[in-house]
Chains A and B, each alone.
Chain A
């Protein structure tokens, strides 16, 4: 089967060269990118600033046009407005109309998808709940939103059409650790629903947590591509985990390892991540709701 038709995203020799006023090449932002992202996977686009991540996203969305090469999205040429019906996009910052409030914003974007008034009436509150915007926040103008709230409403607008492909550009920027975790949980749940997610970030831990495959771009070129686990695996080190060992038993394991020829075997207690620790502390100090669920405080507003 032609990958251009079957894959969620397919690019071949995709190149973007920015030109100066006289048409002379100025910067090669992306150079011969060949990429196939399968449907249903969470794919990470990694790279430092100026590596070509955002350029790739913009090309896939038709915000800019390639200098050479092809790109197709869900079987259609990139930038085709027809295919935009099935795409959700969260830009790196929430570029939304600041004079609208949260509900108005979602209703506006819903109308662009020709979603009926009745359907919007149901879908908008659900989405606002999903991204964690409480009742008073929904009625406030976006210009009064904090960065975290703006990311949340941005995410909501990206999901208003229940898309098959979601492009998230730096989704966790501006979010507190809880928001970051919720975002990651959401990405995982989207994957479970069979959606394709393209995550563009330079927060490597986030990508590591949720992505199936990643590519690393540098200076506009693809440097590496593959499964996250494969890429991160250190093949000459073996890790053995066990629970409830006493110090005596640990010493016996160390001696056994020495006998096996692993003279400098490191046997320590594993550490949790700072993110896990933070969430645990917050949850432990938050009163439980009646149903037993842990209430997560909404992101603080600027005011």
Chain B
């Protein structure tokens, strides 16, 4: 334990005691109910399967594909003879009209939009057609008694359910086939026209133009592409290399620290695995010890002074002429995140015991939170320390209730954000330590160190992240001064990667946000981005490659082969236009390793759409077994969109916060409100878990960007279809099995 930690050890104990929190030993019960809630879907599935097998074994054994196909053929023929395919010309006309009336930015955007329209129209047509057909089929047959002549034949009710599904699945395949052929032809015609327009533009473009590489790529490869990528090391789990790190400057082997900017611009995130037995103690508190280097190399700029302490009465801007105002003492804010990088314990729930004495509040339960912790000693250049305590209440109520990760481990992530302006924060090897304080058998506090190690005792590396946008992109501030420009480091770790040509094509995607100043001065300017690639194996660093980038439009550039050969290289990316914030994620930069046929990609998109339509058919058939067709249509839509709606409602994870926001002062009414909201939240979450996840049916996402649709994108919807679809088919059979079909 450091000197400061020892000095303030007493404060820690008193601070914890001051809270007067006696955590209830509810961990075991809560985890059981949570586990039950978590496995609710599996329990329901098991019950349905058992019921299906127990009640329908005889019918299952009699299952005959010939009969299923025969019933399916009649349903298919019915759809065709009801002229369902007549909706496709209407959809085609719609696509042509909308694509002709739209105003794309450029050729690539035009083809992207048209692709989107084609698939959107195909999806709408196929989903609506199958929804109506499948919802009306069975109720109509019962109503007009055609079902009499089916169920009095040797066809089992299981075969009837399956036959209907097969029949309407064939119908949707027919619709998609027609729409697919049209889409392919229409896109090819459009692409041919647009590519010749690109060639004409390219011929008149100066050799130094930064968009030349991108246009050349389209002229060579065509606009209808299906590119395969080599991406940076996979991201998502903070414990492993996330593929993208954000720094104030590129880390050097000679520098023991990795530097990030303050002003809430960048964060350092440290992962920890928590032993379950530690969390079982009701009085466990967590103590983080932080040793962070700081550097304040320059005085504040005029804008920073304004931002730090705006003067509402000032009529002119503050001036720094003749006054070198340096930033204040380095401060940090600390938050605990969960596996998905969402806040679990907020700064307001944690304690800064070092500065506890500064607290002016008379409330005996108040404590100094970690919204703004001053590093001690506070120096412009040096190493400052801080202690952050997570008291027993949030440990028990938040951390102990965290669902374990897929590998069974319970992980938390300490996010440290430097908040002082014009300050760089350096994180060395021992920047963060964690220990837990529990009471021994005689009630004396006991400190247990928790190492930052993962599987095999390997140290879990920290992640350095940029400020997140609402779409969870990491922001990279644009800066004309290269030494002041933050850098995004994309880590490529592809073993055995070899470049085929002298130059390797890369693709860059971003979302650019501009400050109001930048918009007024550089509204027409594109965002300048600079890239250099360092081969970690050979030490070769490419010359800086400059390009212009814009939101949601891919930019292509080429790097020398030497920079990427071997596959172990870092790509350093800086935004060089002041006031332009470039949004990045690990997949923002990728090597274009190969390309696939667009027709095949379109086929894969249509296959995903088809799986979606089959899911719609199954839900519709299920609903139509027990309600009339208009209600079946509504119910099908509710089942289809239920999960998405729950997601859109958002996660009311902090009912307490909502109670505060809504002004509940009375503790009883506040408790009633939070408990009700919590229960509602749980109910919605559980309900959503048994509904199909339509997010897995990503139809347009890849194809419109010219990206090859991965096998994973096909397997995910297939799994939804197989699991949810099979269970619903069993349910439909069970409902129809004992249904009196004579009105």
Closest to A85 in B: B154
Verify B738–A63 contact, CB threshold 8 A.
Answer: no
A203 to chain B, nearest CB (A): 21
Total contacting residues, chain B, CB less than 8 A: 31
State which residues 133-160 of B face A: CB under 8 Å.
144-156
B144 to chain A, nearest CB (A): 7
B residues near A64, Cβ cutoff 8 Å: 740-742
| Interface flag for A130 (CB, 8 Å) | no
Closest to A90 in B: B149
The number of chain A residues touching the other chain, given as a range, is: 20 to 34
Closest to B62 in A: A81
| Interface flag for A157 (CB, 8 Å) | yes
Cα distance A104–B74 when bound, in Å? 10
Task: Give the one of B81, B154, B741 with max A CB within 10 A.
Answer: B154
Contact of A95 among B71, B82, B146, B154 (CB under 8 A): B146
| Interface flag for A114 (CB, 8 Å) | yes
B residues near A157, Cβ cutoff 8 Å: 149
Verify A63–B70 contact, CB threshold 8 A.
Answer: no
| Interface flag for A84 (CB, 8 Å) | yes
Cα distance A63–B74 when bound, in Å? 21
Cα distance A99–B79 when bound, in Å? 10
Verify B62–A82 contact, CB threshold 8 A.
Answer: yes
State which residues 78-119 of A face B: CB under 8 Å.
81-82, 84-85, 87, 89, 91, 93, 95-97, 99-100, 104, 108-109, 111-114
Verify B145–A93 contact, CB threshold 8 A.
Answer: yes
Verify B146–A108 contact, CB threshold 8 A.
Answer: no
Verify A112–B742 contact, CB threshold 8 A.
Answer: no
Known contacts A82-B62, A99-B81, A113 near B154 by CB under 8 Å: yes
Cα distance A43–B601 when bound, in Å? 65
Verify A91–B154 contact, CB threshold 8 A.
Answer: no
| Interface flag for A62 (CB, 8 Å) | yes
Verify B149–A63 contact, CB threshold 8 A.
Answer: no
CB 8 Å contact bits of B464-490 with A (1 = contact, 0 = none): 000000000000000000000000000
Verify B62–A89 contact, CB threshold 8 A.
Answer: no
Known contacts A63-B151, A63-B741, A82-B154, A114 near B74 by CB under 8 Å: no
Contact of B156 among A81, A109, A111, A114 (CB under 8 A): A81
Verify B738–A95 contact, CB threshold 8 A.
Answer: no
Known contacts A82-B62, A97-B78, A111-B70, A87 near B149 by CB under 8 Å: no
B residues near A104, Cβ cutoff 8 Å: 77
Verify A61–B78 contact, CB threshold 8 A.
Answer: no
| Interface flag for B34 (CB, 8 Å) | no
Verify B144–A95 contact, CB threshold 8 A.
Answer: yes
CB 8 Å contact bits of B67-87 with A (1 = contact, 0 = none): 101110110011001100000
Known contacts A85-B154, A113-B153, A95 near B78 by CB under 8 Å: no
B164 to chain A, nearest CB (A): 13
A residues near B155, Cβ cutoff 8 Å: 81, 112
Verify B67–A111 contact, CB threshold 8 A.
Answer: yes
B206 to chain A, nearest CB (A): 66
Cα distance A85–B82 when bound, in Å? 31
A137 to chain B, nearest CB (A): 19
Verify B152–A62 contact, CB threshold 8 A.
Answer: yes
| Interface flag for B320 (CB, 8 Å) | no
Closest to A112 in B: B153
Known contacts A99-B77, A108-B74, A63 near B156 by CB under 8 Å: no
B543 to chain A, nearest CB (A): 71
A105 to chain B, nearest CB (A): 9
B140 to chain A, nearest CB (A): 11
Verify B66–A95 contact, CB threshold 8 A.
Answer: no
Verify A81–B149 contact, CB threshold 8 A.
Answer: no
Cα distance A112–B163 when bound, in Å? 11
Contact of B742 among A58, A84, A96, A97 (CB under 8 A): A58
Cα distance A157–B156 when bound, in Å? 18
| Interface flag for B59 (CB, 8 Å) | yes
| Interface flag for B657 (CB, 8 Å) | no
Cα distance A65–B739 when bound, in Å? 9
Verify A97–B70 contact, CB threshold 8 A.
Answer: no
Contact of B148 among A85, A89, A97, A99 (CB under 8 A): A89
Closest to A58 in B: B742
Closest to A141 in B: B81
Cα distance A58–B741 when bound, in Å? 10
Task: Give the one of B59, B738, B740 with max A CB within 10 A.
Answer: B740
B residues near A108, Cβ cutoff 8 Å: 70, 73-74
> Which residues of A line the B interface, CB within 8 A?
58, 61-65, 81-82, 84-85, 87, 89, 91, 93, 95-97, 99-100, 104, 108-109, 111-114, 157
A–B complex contacts, Cβ < 8 Å, 15 sampled = A61-B148, A61-B151, A62-B151, A63-B148, A63-B151, A64-B742, A65-B738, A84-B153, A84-B154, A91-B148, A97-B74, A111-B70, A112-B154, A112-B155, A113-B154
Q: Which 3 A-B pairs have the closest CB atoms?
A: A111-B70, A95-B145, A63-B742
Known: A64-B740, A112-B153. 11 other contacts (CB 8 A): A63-B740, A65-B738, A82-B62, A91-B148, A95-B144, A108-B73, A111-B67, A112-B70, A112-B150, A112-B154, A114-B154
